[in-house]
């Protein structure tokens, strides 16, 4: 049995949880700081785009959408540590499944609400049934 730096045997360490050292702590802090800086910068740019007249008015929703996707990318990469490496595949699949479920719920709800009036009986027929 091999011991890692934390004193746990190799079978006690979950997959993807390698030995942690002071060097890793510094790299983690740097990654979080870069992520925080990018998130703050993207937020400020979003407010600037929404408030300024320098941007062509019809393109503001598109610009805000692009900035929102960039913001999501920063959060997924720097804070949730999603990557294309072997340890990140399960996390990516779980995220994709969660997004699929949300899209199905929201899309299904929107479809039901859109077709609700088409499937209901007209009000005058409902009033005639109550008499």
Q: Domain-by-domain residue ranges, the chain?
A: 1-81, 86-131
Q: Residue 20 has what pLDDT?
A: 56
Question: What value, to the nearest 5°, has the Cα angle with vertex 85 and ends 83 and 86?
Answer: 130
Per-residue pLDDT tens digits for 101-128: 999 999 999 999 888 877 777 777 777 8
Higher pLDDT, 131 or 45: 45
What is d(CA 114, CA 24) in angstroms, rounded to the nearest whole number? 52
Q: Residue 128 has what pLDDT?
A: 81
9 by DSSP, 3-state: which?
A: strand
82 by DSSP, 3-state: which?
A: coil
pLDDT range class, residue 1, cuts 50, 70, 90? very low
CB atoms within 10 A of CB 37: 12
**Alpha helix stretches (DSSP H) within the chain:** 22-51, 60-74, 88-119, 123-130
Using a cut of 0.95, tell me whether the model's pTM lies above it: no
**Residue 54 clears pLDDT 80, i.e. is over it:** yes
For range 78-92, the mean pLDDT: 79
91 by DSSP, 3-state: which?
A: helix
């Amino acid at each position: 049995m091999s011991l890692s730096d934390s004193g746990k045997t190799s079978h006690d360490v979950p997959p993807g949880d390698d030995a942690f050292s002071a060097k890793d702590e510094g790299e983690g802090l740097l990654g979080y700081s870069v992520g925080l800086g990018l998130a703050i910068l993207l937020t400020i740019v979003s407010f600037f785009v929404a408030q300024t007249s320098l941007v062509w008015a019809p393109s503001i929703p598109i610009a805000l959408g692009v900035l929102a996707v960039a913001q999501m990318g920063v959060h997924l990469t720097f804070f949730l540590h999603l990557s294309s490496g072997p340890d990140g595949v399960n996390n990516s699949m779980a995220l994709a499944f969660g997004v699929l479920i949300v899209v199905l719920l929201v899309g299904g709800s929107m479809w039901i609400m859109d077709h609700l009036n088409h499937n209901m009986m007209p009000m005058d027929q409902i009033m005639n049934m109550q008499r």
